[in-house]
Amino acid sequence: MARPLIGVTVSRRSGWRIFPLVAFNIWLAGGRAVRWQAGREADVSAVHGLVIGGGDDISPDFYGGEFVTSARLDPARDELERRLVSEAWAQNTPILGICRGAQMINVALGGTLHQDAYKVYSTSRHVWTVLPRKTVSTMKGSRLARLMGRTGLRVNALHSQAVKDLGDGLVVAARDEGGMIQAVERIRDPFALGVQWHPEHLFYLRRQRRIFRALVTAARAGRDRHGQIGAVCEEADLEPLPV
């Protein structure tokens, strides 16, 4: 069976090194990836799933925030990804957001961000590492909780911004010990999940690989059912995986 095709957006600054890692995770999950970035053609209708990757801050112009001088912006990438999220949402294309990608899903759907999240959540543990040294808790009854099979997760962290007000159709799926939002998800099918951490760096952890497998499962279901996507996480939830 042909692998579903997943469009992956990356930074023009760091995409050359990040895309291969995301593509590797997608391949492990049974899909294949195509690289998108500002300045290249990107068409949601040509793929079966979408990953909005990390890197770069989102311009406050998109959500009415105040400009922070330390922010690293790419307005062309902002425009591209906001369009892709809106089109994917409208076309029932499964979406995974990674770090900035989770924030972009939220902003594209009308939400806002904390630009200096750790200033707001002073009791949240501020770490900057690709290693799983931060603890987050999934929300009871969330799709993410079912997918992970447990409440507490060890994750990495490379972010300074975080979701503030939720976008339309989204709910909180995880928070850290200080209350900062660490994941958001779509209320109903099709699959849409945004995680504040970087699961692509944690491919050696089976539970983190489930995130990519859930996306690919949803993409395959949409392709095989001619765009009519049903319950997309059942395969990932029900197949037992060791820790």
Active site residues: 99, 198, 200
Find tokens 């062309």 and name the residue: 76
ω into 190 cis (within 30 of 0)? yes
3-state secondary structure of 64: coil
Tokens of 110: 């009308």
Distances (CA, A) of 195 to 61, 73, 222: 23, 20, 22
Listed in sequence order, the residues at least 6 apart from 24 whose beta carbon sits closer than 8 Å to its beta carbon are 200, 203
Euclidean distance between CA atoms 131 and 25, whole angstroms = 16
- Cross-strand pairs, 186: 170
* Residues 185, 89: Cα–Cα separation, whole Å: 12
